[in-house]
Structure formats: structure tokens, C-alpha cells
Amino acid sequence: MIPTRPDLTLAARDLFRIDTDLMVPAFSVADDHVPPIDSGYVFERETTLALLAGFLHNRRVLVQGRHGTGKSSHVEQVAARLNWPCVRVNLDGHVTRMDLVGKDAIVLRDGLQVTEFQPGILTWALQRPCALVFDEYDAGRADVMFVIQRVLEVEGRLTLLDQSRVIEPHPAFRLFATANTIGLGDATGLYHGTQPLNQGQMDRWNIVVTLNYLAHDQEIEVVLARCPEYRTAPGRQTVSAMVALAALTRQGFADGDLSTVMSPRTVVTWAENATLFHDVALAFRLTFLNRCDEDEQALVAEYYQRCVGHDLPAETARKGPPVR
């Protein structure tokens, strides 16, 4: 029997390897919606504490940060360790109110066609122990966002107008969101397709936490967890150089010298590609350099030289303009 409420209390220190004395509620049995545990996941302390407040105190938590920094997987991995069912919804521009709330559909019952209400994902999740995560929250359509606004308040009931029914949230329902921008529009130009968010709506998120980049050593651990073949002394050195280069691109971006940043996701992909091609430099070009503006490639090649310790091979540093 799967419990409908958390029936365990566990120490967050042991679950997430972070410095805290917090005890957190968890489920003793996992249902099908509990995400699989990624044992190599590295938890960032502040984000983890914010998410745990969401689970423990029913706070609405929005995680914001640059692309590929582990926002979506962070929520998922916290839920995984609490055995808390968790469903992720990508709030792209095609998600409609009907997808969220539900609609009447014709179904066959005992050979007869009957009209039946099919709950949308929000209606469905609201009624069960479930952490609902809206990914790409800043890409949602304005009319859709107003549906979410109603349930953002903790006691937020959902009124199904055509059903004349009011749905009470389950006591173990939780709501999270992830976004690249903070709802004030995209000042960086990196996140085309995002929208400024209604501030009345932003106001309803109880906790807004920023997850950008991990410390150097932690980021190395993330890469080593994904690519264990680098768990040797030279391998670790290579990964350290990759992470250092990524940090330079982030600094370069902050200083206005670069228009592309290397995300932790890209560092992992670079390490994976380097294994596939047996060539760190070639993998670098194919994973990152080719994505950089032509005018900025010389600077990126210089970063490479500084971190890896030798120049990018001539055939790897691009000669001539890229084919467009």
C-alpha cells in the first residue's frame, strides 16, 4: 500500500550530503511517479534547503538560473530521495489551459458513448501526493499562467467552471518551477522565447532561489559522476582544465567579452565527446567552439591554451569564416 502522506522523517544531511540538521518528511514506499535516483548528483546547499522548505512547509519554490546548471534535475533528485512522486511539465508556448485543467471527452463505457471529464495535469496532480514542476516557467503563455496563479496560493483551490466543482489541493501536493530568467524579461539575449512574468504572479512564489554555477571542485565531481572514465590522476586534471575553461567563458560573458557561455551541461558533453573521439581538442571544437561567434573564437582558443596548457591544434582552430 502506498502511503498518501509522508510517513518517515529523515536527516537531510545524510540524504543530500549538505551541512544541515534539518529533518525532512519522506515516503516509505515509492510509486511509479517517483523519479529514479541519480547517485552521482551533487546537491547545492542553498538550492537544496529552499527545495526542502518547499516539501517540508508547503512553500512554492521557483528555481532560477542560467541554462544547464541543474535546476530541473535538482528538484527531481530531491523528490527522488524523499520518494515523493514528481511530475515535470514543460511549460512551452503550446501548453493550453485545457492541458492544465482538463476537458470533457467522449469515452466508451459498456459499449455506450458517454461524455466524461478528463482532468488536465494540474487538476490531476493537485489531488494527490505529488510535486508538480513547471519547467521553463518563463516560456508559458500568459493566459495559461493565470490558471497556475490560482493554485500558487497554498490553500489555492482550483475551480472547474464547466464542472461546477472546486478542487482542494491534497495536503502532500507541492508546486515548483524552474526558469532561466527572473520574470523581468531577458536582458542577456540568451533566452529567446521567454516572456516577462506578471509580477502579481511572481509575488505568489514564496521562495525564489538562484542556481548558477557550482564551486570548481563540485563541478569536477558532477563531471566525474557522469564520466567515471576520468577518475584517474590525468583524467581528473583534464576535467579540472575543462571546468576552469568553462569558468573563464562565464567570466568573459559577465565582462561582455563573450556572447556564449559554457554551461555545466556542456562541460559534461565535452568530456563525453572527448571520450568518443579520443581527442580533447576536437571534442572542444565540436561541443563548444563551433557554437561561438566567429569574432570571439580567437579569445576562446586563448582560454583553451590557458587552461589545457597547449594551443588548440591549427586544424581545430577554425580557419576562415564558418559555413552558414
By CB under 5 A, name the binding residues for Mg ion. 72
Q: Let me know how long the chain is.
A: 324
State the residue number with the nearest CB to Mg ion: 72
Binding to ligand ATP, residues 121-180 (CB under 6 A): 178, 180
Rounded to an integer, what distance in angstroms lies between the CA atom of residue 282 and that of residue 277? 7
Q: Does 67 bind ligand ATP (CB under 6 A)?
A: yes
245-284 mask for ligand ATP (x: CB under 6 A)? -------------------xx--x----------------
**Residue 149 has what DSSP assignment?**
H
Number of residues that bind ligand ATP (CB under 6 A): 17
- The closest alpha carbon to 272, from 307, 237, 310, 230, belongs to 230
30-49 mask for ligand ATP (x: CB under 6 A)? ----------xxx-------
Rounded to an integer, what distance in angstroms lies between the CA atom of residue 37 and that of residue 93? 30
| Cell numbers for 153 | 496560493
Rounded to an integer, what distance in angstroms lies between the CA atom of residue 211 and that of residue 74? 10
DSSP annotation string for 34-58: SPPP-TTPPPPHHHHHHHHHHHHH-
Q: Beta-strand (E) ranges in 206-265? A: 207-210
User: For ligand ATP, which is the closer residue by CB, 93 or 171?
Assistant: 93
State the residue number with the nearest CB to ligand ATP: 70
Place of cell 524523499: 82
User: For ligand ATP, which is the closer residue by CB, 109 or 192?
Assistant: 192
Q: Does 69 bind ligand ATP (CB under 6 A)?
A: yes
User: For ligand ATP, which is the closer residue by CB, 102 or 235?
Assistant: 235
User: Which of ligand ATP, Mg ion, none does 222 bind, CB closer than 5 to 8 A by kind?
Assistant: ligand ATP
Q: Which of 71, 88, 204, 285: binder of ligand ATP (CB under 6 A)?
A: 71
